[in-house]
Amino acid sequence: MMTNKELIEKIQKLKKEKNAVILVHNYITSDIYEIADYIGDSLDLSRKSAATDADIIVFCGVDFMAECAKILSPDRTVLHPKRESSCPMAAMVKADDLREKKRQHPNAKVVCYVNTTASVKAESDICCTSANAIEVVNSVKEKEILFVPDRNLCAYAQSKTDKKLIPWNGYCYVHDVITVKDIKKSKESHPGAHVMVHPECRPDVIAMADAVCSTGQMIDYAKTSNVSEFIVATEEGMCARLKREFPDKNFHAIGSICNQMKEISMYDVYMALKMNQFEIKLDEEIRKSAKKALDRMLELR
């Protein structure tokens, strides 16, 4: 079995030979940061996918993220290193069910969280991420909005708009289990720490936050804050990213693990590049429709 150092050397060589780029989500195991061309949240990586001139994109994240890269870069080969790395929340909304809900609410526009399949995006008017959900919702002219699939992100956006948001009953199992009790317990241990909470958390947890942030926004907040200690209410891997960026500051995780994100190993990335596996392929009509929803989001700024 090769060591990580040997794998990194082989991956770097293959990247150069194949003109490949490796995109890595913040929640991936921190050793994979070492081979990343870009590390970020869904919005950051969506923009990188759209702008890259690489021939091959290796996407280290869950399945819908790799799909997004293919939607935005159809002429690129997009590889997802582990088939089992799929998002349970994305699976909580199906295109057929969304079409039925649209029939029930004919005057509503559909805002879909980027954490959805390509077929659901194709049924949507505009996508959003946790970083820009409020901006996206307020950009929609219509007063009624179907918001899929995260009920907690929907509740957070609803608190920041006068539009009527109709939630889907989906959730992130990592964020939904974080409780007020967890926050209070951590604050007792770290009384001077600021609390950063991901908007996929429940509303009562969000109410305790010093800052409500996507993972990318957590990096910005930690960088600009005058405090040096933070309680981080999101997937625990985010603390590894924060510690990497700010070694002189302290971060305390109260989230659990996203098992699906952690499925991807350095060896999986190596095999993906070596064998060109596993390639993302999408129906072209679905891809084109889904791209419209993503493009509308990306055009906002």
Domains in the chain and their CATH numbers? 4-85+264-283 (3.40.50.10800), 90-173 (3.40.50.10800), 178-253 (3.40.50.10800)
What are the tens digits of pLDDT across the range 278-290? 999 999 999 999 9
For residue 1, the one-letter residue type is M
80 CA to centre of own chain: 15
Q: Is the pLDDT of residue 209 over 90?
A: yes
Cα–Cα distance for residue pair 110/103, rounded to 1 Å: 12
Task: Answer for the pair 170, 98: CB distance below 8 angstroms, yes or no.
Answer: no
Residue 20 dihedral angles phi and psi, to the nearest 5°: -105, 155
Task: Answer for the pair 219, 43: CB distance below 8 angstroms, yes or no.
Answer: no
What are the tens digits of pLDDT across the range 109-149? 999 999 999 999 999 999 999 999 999 999 999 999 999 99
Locate 249 and state its tokens: 């500051």
Which residues are CB-contacts of 253 (< 8 A; sequence separation ≥ 6)?
A: 232, 234, 236, 238, 239
Cα–Cα distance for residue pair 191/210, rounded to 1 Å: 13
Cα angle, residue 57 at apex, residues 133 and 245 outer, rounded to 5°: 60
Cα–Cα distance for residue pair 108/72, rounded to 1 Å: 26
Cα–Cα distance for residue pair 229/124, rounded to 1 Å: 40
Locate 15 and state its tokens: 């990247």
What are the tens digits of pLDDT across the range 217-258? 999 999 999 999 999 999 999 999 999 999 999 999 998 899
Task: Assign 3-class secondary structure to 108-125.
Answer: CEEEEECCCCHHHHHCCC
Q: Give the residue ranges of DSSP H helices in 42-192.
A: 42-51, 63-72, 95-104, 118-122, 133-139, 151-158, 173-176, 180-189
What confidence score (pLDDT) does residue 50 get? 85
What are the tens digits of pLDDT across the range 124-133? 999 999 999 9
Task: Answer for the pair 18, 26: CB distance below 8 angstroms, yes or no.
Answer: no
Residue 152 dihedral angles phi and psi, to the nearest 5°: -75, -45
The mean pLDDT of 295-301, rounded to a whole number, is 88
What confidence score (pLDDT) does residue 57 get? 96
What confidence score (pLDDT) does residue 301 get? 64
What are the tens digits of pLDDT across the range 12-67? 999 999 999 999 999 999 999 999 999 988 778 888 988 999 999 999 999 999 99
Task: Answer for the pair 174, 233: CB distance below 8 angstroms, yes or no.
Answer: no
Cα–Cα distance for residue pair 59/80, rounded to 1 Å: 5
